[in-house]
């Protein structure tokens, strides 16, 4: 699969852009485990224009993580065009436009998935951003605003006509947020449309190698994008790649190996930012990781882990889980 001249190979698996998740350390870790493309946290066009330092920091890229995309969102054409030009200076491989974020602070203001209620403006923004920059422009969106407005089949053609180079579709409406199940049937319908010639990337509820393979085989998508299933599990990309390549499960990927990965993630974040914020970045992953599920008498350990404020304390708590898993394996 190619996004313009970016060759992602066969059956590419991508890391989704996620706020407070896809920081540089996590992107590089996922890349090293086999993610074929990664994205930054999504960034606000207005904050880019105003040169908000925390926003500009999210746009710092490293050659080791390429190909990498920067995702932007906004609610008017002028600011989106200006922001896209600034983003281009950061030298991303693609600029992705977020027309899919369902959270109230974004969609409620007309940006993100809020654009699904104003398609003419969505298309105008897309056309103008494509014209304003030289890097490939892609879009991520949803099936529609709600179940009465499932517009993605027509919208995909319209967005393609605006000049985008790939389209990612999350299989839910904005009204669903992240509830219920992702509906991949409409994603497959878009892919089967003979007028569609750009890559179609499917997204939503992919949590295992088996589900990834099914997405490719049953719905014919060009790539699969994975979001929440990566929390506390960056090695999912290795699991998926090995499965798609018909390789045996790696015997080295034991509990201890996975715990080492999470400890390395903590170490990198603390070194890259500072102790307090580095720990905050990792808490989401520690809360969501499947690594500790099923451990006996783990509740209090989990509480302590998520309350730890100092890196040495957190490392000690994480290390204390090793004998727990050994006891569970006996």
Which one of 213, 244, 275 terminates a domain? 244
Percent of the chain with pLDDT over 90: 84
- Give dist(CA 238, CA 132) in Å, integer: 37
Q: What is the pTM of this model?
A: 0.93
Q: Are residues 261 and 311 in the same domain?
A: yes
Q: Which two tokens stand for residue 22?
A: 């896809």
pLDDT at 330 over 70: no
Instruction: Name residue 88's beta-bridge partners.
Output: none
Active site residues: 101
Q: What is the pLDDT of residue 329?
A: 54
The answer to whether residue 210 scores a pLDDT higher than 80 is yes
Whether the per-residue pLDDT at 260 is higher than 50: the answer is: yes
Number of domains in the chain: 2
Reported as a single tens digit per residue, the pLDDT across 54-111 is: 999 999 999 999 999 999 999 999 999 999 999 999 999 999 999 999 988 899 888 9
* Residue whose C-alpha is closest to residue 113's, from 121, 123, 103: 103
* DSSP calls for 35-87: -SBEEPPPEEHHHHHTT-HHHHHTT---GGG-SEEEEEE-SSHHHHHHHHHHH
Domain check: are 279 and 228 in the same one?
Answer: no
Q: Is residue 157 located within the same domain as residue 43?
A: yes
Question: Does residue 267 share a domain with residue 220?
Answer: no
Q: Is the peptide bond before 185 cis (omega within 30 degrees of 0)?
A: no
Query: In terms of domains, do 89 and 218 share one?
Result: yes
With respect to residue 250, please indicate whether it lies within any of the assigned structural domains: no
Q: Of 189, 222, 244, which closes a domain?
A: 244
Same domain, 229 and 320: no
Cα–Cα distance measured from residue 77 to residue 235, given in angstroms and rounded to the nearest whole number? 38
Residue 100's Cα: distance from chain center in Å? 12
Q: What is the pLDDT of residue 159?
A: 98
Examine the domain organization and report whether 175 and 289 are in the same domain. Answer: no
Please check whether residue 89 lies inside any domain of the structure. Answer: yes
What DSSP string describes 160-204?
Answer: HHTT-S-EEEESS-TTTTT-S----HHHHHHHH-TT--S-EEEES
| CATH code for the domain in which residue 44 is found | 3.20.20.70
What is the structure's pLDDT at 249? 85
The pLDDT value recorded for residue 95 is 98
User: For 240-261, what is the mean pLDDT?
Assistant: 92
Residue the block writes with tokens 């996975």: 258
Residue span of the structural domain in which 111 resides = 2-244
pLDDT mean across residues, the chain: 94
């Amino acid at each position: 699969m190619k996004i313009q001249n970016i060759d992602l190979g066969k059956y590419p698996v991508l890391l989704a852009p996620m706020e407070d998740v896809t920081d540089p350390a996590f992107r590089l870790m996922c890349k090293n485990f086999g993610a074929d493309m990664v994205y930054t946290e999504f960034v606000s066009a207005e904050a880019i224009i105003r040169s908000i330092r925390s926003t500009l920091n999210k746009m710092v890229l490293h050659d080791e993580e390429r190909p990498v995309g920067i995702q932007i969102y906004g609610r008017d054409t002028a600011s989106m065009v200006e922001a896209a030009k600034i983003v281009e200076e950061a030298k991303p491989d693609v600029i992705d436009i977020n027309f899919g974020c369902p959270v109230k602070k974004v969609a409620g203001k007309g940006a993100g998935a809020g654009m699904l209620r104003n398609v003419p403006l969505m298309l105008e923004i897309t056309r103008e951003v494509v014209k304003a920059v030289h890097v490939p422009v892609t879009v991520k969106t949803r099936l529609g605003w709600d179940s009465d407005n499932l517009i993605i089949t027509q919208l995909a053609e319209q967005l393609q006509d605006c000049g985008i180079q790939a389209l990612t579709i999350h299989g839910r409406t904005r009204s669903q947020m992240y509830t219920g199940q992702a509906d991949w049937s409409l994603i497959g319908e878009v892919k089967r449309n003979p007028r569609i010639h750009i890559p179609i990337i499917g997204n939503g509820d992919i949590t295992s190698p088996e589900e990834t393979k099914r997405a490719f085989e049953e719905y014919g998508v060009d790539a699969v994008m994975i979001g929440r299933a990566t929390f506390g599990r960056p090695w999912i990309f290795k699991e998926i790649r090995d499965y798609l390549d018909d390789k045996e499960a790696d015997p080295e990927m034991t509990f201890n190996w996975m715990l080492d990965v999470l400890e390395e993630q903590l170490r990198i974040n603390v070194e890259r930012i500072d102790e307090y914020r580095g720990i905050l970045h990792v808490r989401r992953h520690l809360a969501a990781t499947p690594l500790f599920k099923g451990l006996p008498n783990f509740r209090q350990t989990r509480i302590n882990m998520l309350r730890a404020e100092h890196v040495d304390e957190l490392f000690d708590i994480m290390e204390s889980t090793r004998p727990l898993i050994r006891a569970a394996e006996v």
